[in-house]
Amino acid sequence: MSEFKQKKSLGQHFLTDKNIVAKIAKLAEIEKDEPVWEIGPGKGILTTELLAYNCQLTCFELDRTLFPILEEKFGKKINLVKQDILKADWQQYFAKQKLKIVANLPYQITSPFLFKVAQFSQQFSLVVVMIQKEVAKRIQAGAGSKDYGPLSLKMQYYFEPKYQFTVKPHVFVPPPKVDSAVISLKPRENRPELEDEKFFWRVVETAFGQRRKMLRRNLRQLTSQENLFKIQNNPIDLRRRGETLSEAEFIQLYKALKSL
């Protein structure tokens, strides 16, 4: 059996403050027997708190040196999946009932993980995760703010994100270099239909290509200058910058580009 050594490469910053752990678990409003996923249980500080809610807990952990620790501590009380959460076959673990996710995420997988949750957003009722503060601010940012970008639009398209609270580095071992934050993501019920979602996100990414440039400049990556001339003021003034457009305005712009 290999001995446990903390690995930075796996984002192993373990929580030490039980009050913070309790606050995170409380935000998830877990009911008895509800199916819950924890990503990266580590040594199990959050796991213990989640089990106090008598939920059906599935924990995904990648570090094999943690398995014996978790098995000894929790035995059959948890369903331990010894796999990379990004590589696991999620469908296999979906339940009839919608799931909740609660985690102190390994920060290096934040974006791919949240995009995967977005892809299956109808399977989840609530996601409560600790991530880097800077990323949490980007997820929650509104049009016109400096943190606003494709990540804000994507996450807000699938979820109603809420910045819950900031967590300082000293409550982790080892302390990370940056502040962290807990956010909750509630899958959005009535999101606008997008016929060609792939093209919509291309429009968004392209509009933010060079942040300080006007739309008419950035969008040249997508279509001809002649085409852009046809829609220069209608429905969106192409002298504006991408960072000023709301989701509804991006949808108008995407529809206009699509119709060219």
Residues that bind ligand SAM (CB under 6 A): 10-15, 39-42, 45-46, 60-63, 66, 84-86, 104, 106, 109
Min. distance of Cβ 31 from ligand SAM in angstroms?
Answer: 21
Taking alpha carbons only, the member of 187, 188, 222, 181 closest to residue 204 is 222
Specify the residue, 113 or 250, whose C-beta has the smaller distance to ligand SAM: 113
Min. distance of Cβ 187 from ligand SAM in angstroms?
Answer: 22
Specify the residue, 80 or 126, whose C-beta has the smaller distance to ligand SAM: 80
Q: Which residues, including other chains, have CB under 8 Å from residue 74's CB and lie 6 or more apart? A: 44, 47, 51, 80
Specify the residue, 86 or 118, whose C-beta has the smaller distance to ligand SAM: 86
Min. distance of Cβ 82 from ligand SAM in angstroms?
Answer: 9
- For residues 149 and 245, what is the distance between their CA atoms, to the nearest angstrom? 10
- For residues 135 and 181, what is the distance between their CA atoms, to the nearest angstrom? 9
- Relative to beta strand 124-132, strand 99-104 is parallel
Specify the residue, 71 or 84, whose C-beta has the smaller distance to ligand SAM: 84
Min. distance of Cβ 109 from ligand SAM in angstroms?
Answer: 5
Min. distance of Cβ 21 from ligand SAM in angstroms?
Answer: 7
DSSP code per residue over 117-141: HHHTGGGEEEEEEEEEHHHHHHHHP
Specify the residue, 25 or 207, whose C-beta has the smaller distance to ligand SAM: 25
For the record, the structure tokens of 107 come out as 């920060």
Taking alpha carbons only, the member of 125, 126, 117 closest to residue 85 is 117
